[in-house]
Amino acid sequence: MDESTPTGAGHGRAVATRVRIRARSRTEPHRASTPLELLFDLCFVVAVAQAGSKLVHALAAGHPGHGITGYLLVFFAIWWAWMNFTWFASAYDTDDVLYRLVTLVQMSGVLVLAAGVPRAFDDADYTVAVLGYLIMRAALTFQWLQAASGESGAARTVALRYAAGLVVVQIAWVVLLLLPGSWWTGGFLVLVVAELSVPAYTEHDHRTSWHPHHIAERYGLFTLIVLGESISAATVAVQSALDESAALDLLLPIAAGGLVIVFAAFWSYFAVPIHEHLSSNRQAFLWGYGHYAVLGSAAAIGAGIEVAVEQVTHHAEISARAAASCVTVPTAVFLLMVWAVHTRHFKSGLAQHMVLPAGAVAVLACTLAGHLAVPLAGLACACTVAAGVWPARVR
């Protein structure tokens, strides 16, 4: 096979053995996610589950500040590493032997990151988590250098800029790790800005050939996996409660309400063909960056349902209203952010635009209901979906 010939990415394609990478076409037909990318997502869900588990423990123990701060820090590392590889793969996935091996290294890195989550939460020890992050970023840097070797002109410059930006920021993470713990929060925020700035600077005059339909599918699949993790977490929590013969009259409404919330989250997210909106870097980057809140809140919904179950079974040291807020707040954030970065681009008129924001407000109001908050929030979410679907049905 000629090393300069793109191979594409498909489920049944034989693995190529070439080394150089060439950009794929942005208009390539039938561009779909590959099994390797799906395996990549599943590895990241392990880290998401770890972060969610520690969030549950912190919230149930009555330490929301510590739990939410730790969750936001860890989830950023998970989301950002996933996002960076996803956009690279959309432009350069060749599925050759070396590409697969380097991608598997990134998967190993996220598992190391996941192993470091408990230490980061409990002891503010970020050593293992940062090590896992560095493994992922080093592998991605290698892939950008590999892409640069197969490109010329502006495309080569962009690939080299990405590699250089990754190296500089990763050195900064190591330096931050060596500084006193009091530097961590401020230094973390500075490096978050640096991380987010790399793509904007790198592609300001020439964009990589990411594929709109492929990117939309990748984000959609990861959203599905995260929502599935919420269902799994809630199921485990309810099962544990049932094993202790806890009251069914309180557990069943929580389980039913939580399930409806997740179903409504799915419906709201997949209501529009978002790939039609992703026509420029500015639109796509803002949409992609906004998914930090979309995905983070989706994962937190499952954690919140677990906390609500623990409160009912007297394993949480918080009030019923506080436990309810652990479900209603992330649900409201999800609805609001899905509208802000996702569905509003396809809405017309004030009534359509207000459906999801109004639904978010209604869900927040359910917090006041205490033990009934989760089923009422599920009802509010169902009504929100119905309000969005009904106008389309009657046209």
28-72 pLDDT per residue, tens: 888 888 999 999 999 988 889 899 999 999 999 989 998 999 899
The answer as to whether 147 is a domain residue is yes
Query: Can you give the CATH number for the domain in which 353 is found?
Result: 1.20.1410
Q: How many domains does the chain have?
A: 2
Please indicate, yes or no, whether residues 308 and 180 belong to a single structural domain of this protein: no
Helical (H) or strand (E) element with 308: helix 281-312
Q: pLDDT at position 247, please?
A: 66
Calpha distance 128→116 (Å, rounded): 5
DSSP code at position 340: I
Please indicate, yes or no, whether residues 255 and 374 belong to a single structural domain of this protein: yes
Please indicate, yes or no, whether residues 331 and 245 belong to a single structural domain of this protein: yes
Please indicate, yes or no, whether residues 351 and 387 belong to a single structural domain of this protein: yes
The answer as to whether 262 is a domain residue is yes
The answer as to whether 7 is a domain residue is no
Tokens of 337: 């952010």
Categorize the per-residue pLDDT at 143 as very low, low, confident or very high, splitting at 50, 70 and 90: very high
| Mean pLDDT value of segment 111-139 | 91
Nearest Cα to Cα of residue 100 among 156, 52, 143: 143
Please indicate, yes or no, whether residues 175 and 265 belong to a single structural domain of this protein: no
Helix (H, G, I), strand (E, B) or coil at 321: helix
Measure Cα distances from 130 to 51, 117, 134, 143 in Å: 14, 10, 6, 20
Domain boundary among 170, 202, 234: 202
| Burial degree of 269 (CB within 10 A; 0-12, 13-18, 19+) | buried
Domain boundary among 173, 202, 231: 202
Calpha distance 201→258 (Å, rounded): 41
Tokens of 359: 């639904």
Partners of residue 16 on adjacent β-strands? 96
Please indicate, yes or no, whether residues 229 and 144 belong to a single structural domain of this protein: no
Q: pLDDT at position 164, please?
A: 95
Q: Whole domain around residue 195: which residue ranges?
A: 35-202
Please indicate, yes or no, whether residues 217 and 174 belong to a single structural domain of this protein: no
Q: pLDDT at position 176, please?
A: 93
Calpha distance 140→86 (Å, rounded): 11
The answer as to whether 4 is a domain residue is no
pTM: 0.87
pLDDT digits (tens, 9 = 90+) for 328-337: 999 999 999 9
- Crossing angle of helices 64-92/184-202, nearest 10°? 20
Least confident of 56-70, 138-152, 236-250: 236-250
| Mean pLDDT value of segment 217-232 | 90
pLDDT digits (tens, 9 = 90+) for 170-192: 999 999 999 988 888 889 999 99
Please say if the pLDDT value at position 104 is more than 70: yes
Please indicate, yes or no, whether residues 169 and 228 belong to a single structural domain of this protein: no
Nearest Cα to Cα of residue 213 among 284, 115, 311: 284
Please indicate, yes or no, whether residues 272 and 184 belong to a single structural domain of this protein: no
Read off the amino acid at residue 77. Answer: A
Q: pLDDT at position 95, please?
A: 82
For a pLDDT cut of 90, what percent of the chain falls above it? 53
Domain boundary among 138, 170, 202: 202
State the DSSP string of 182-207. GGHHHHHHHHHHHHHHHHHHHTSSS-
Partners of residue 96 on adjacent β-strands? 16
Categorize the per-residue pLDDT at 364 as very low, low, confident or very high, splitting at 50, 70 and 90: very high
The answer as to whether 23 is a domain residue is no
Please indicate, yes or no, whether residues 157 and 276 belong to a single structural domain of this protein: no
The answer as to whether 24 is a domain residue is no
